[in-house]
Structure 1
Amino acid sequence: MKIAPSILSADFANLKEDIIKAQEGGADWIHVDSMDGHFVPNLTFGSIVVKAIRPHTHLPIDCHLMVENPDYYIQEFAEAGADYISVHLESTPHVHRALQLIRSFDVKAGIVLNPATPVSLLEDIIHMVDMVLVMTVNPGYGGQSFIPETLNKIKMLDKWKKEKGFDFLIEVDGGINPTTIKACAEAGAEVCVAGSYVFDSSNPKERIEALKHAVRDSD
Structure 2
Amino acid sequence: MARIQYAASIMCADLANLESSMAEVEAAGVDALHVDVLDGRFSPSMPLGLETIRRMRQITTLPFDAHIMTTDNEWFVAEMLALGADSVTFHIETTLHVDRLIGLARAAGAKVGIALNPATSLALLEFVLPLVDSVCLMLINPGYATNAAEKQVPYATEKVARLRRMIDDQGLAADVQVDGRVSFATVPDLVRAGATSLVLGSTSLFAKDATLAQNRARLDECIAAGGGIR
Global fold match (TM > 0.5): yes
* Cα distance in 2 between the residues matched to 1:77 and 1:47: 8
Moved more, 193-202 or 125-134: 193-202
What pairs with 1:13-162 in structure 2 (closer than 5 Å)? 13-143=16-146, 144-162=150-168
- Count how many residue pairs are aligned between Structure 1 and Structure 2: 219
Answer whether contact 2:11 2:48 (CA < 8 A) is retained: no
- AA at the equivalent of 1:14: N
TM-fit CA distance, 1:43 = 1.9
Question: Which of 170, 185, 192 does residue 198 from structure 2 map onto?
Answer: 192
* Cα distance in 1 between the residues matched to 2:144 and 2:120: 18
* Cα distance in 1 between the residues matched to 2:114 and 2:96: 13
1:88-124 Cα distance to aligned partner (Å, 9 max, x none): 0111221221222122211111100110001111001
Moved more, 47-56 or 16-25: 47-56
* Cα distance in 2 between the residues matched to 1:142 and 1:14: 20
1:179-210 Cα distance to aligned partner (Å, 9 max, x none): 21111100000110011132342511211221
* Cα distance in 1 between the residues matched to 2:175 and 2:207: 27
Structure 1 gap ranges (5+): none
Answer whether contact 1:29 1:59 (CA < 8 A) is retained: yes
Secondary structure of the residue that 2:199 maps to in structure 1? Answer: strand
1:159-191 Cα distance to aligned partner (Å, 9 max, x none): 112111111111000001112111110000011
Answer whether contact 2:207 2:215 (CA < 8 A) is retained: no
* Cα distance in 1 between the residues matched to 2:225 and 2:90: 32
Q: By percentage of residues, which structure has more helix?
A: 1
- AA at the equivalent of 1:139: P
Structure 2 gap ranges (5+): none
- AA at the equivalent of 2:178: V
* Cα distance in 2 between the residues matched to 1:160 and 1:96: 20
Answer whether contact 2:38 2:69 (CA < 8 A) is retained: yes
Computed over aligned residues only, the root mean square deviation of the Cα atoms, in angstroms, reads 1.5
TM-fit CA distance, 1:138 = 0.7
TM-fit CA distance, 1:32 = 0.5
- AA at the equivalent of 1:47: L
* Cα distance in 1 between the residues matched to 2:139 and 2:21: 24
Secondary structure of the residue that 1:199 maps to in structure 2? Answer: coil
- AA at the equivalent of 2:164: D
Answer whether contact 1:8 1:142 (CA < 8 A) is retained: no
Secondary structure of the residue that 2:16 maps to in structure 1? Answer: helix
Please state if 1:208 is matched with 2:208. no
Equivalent residue, structure 1, for 2:177: 171
Give % identity: 33
TM-fit CA distance, 1:79 = 1.9
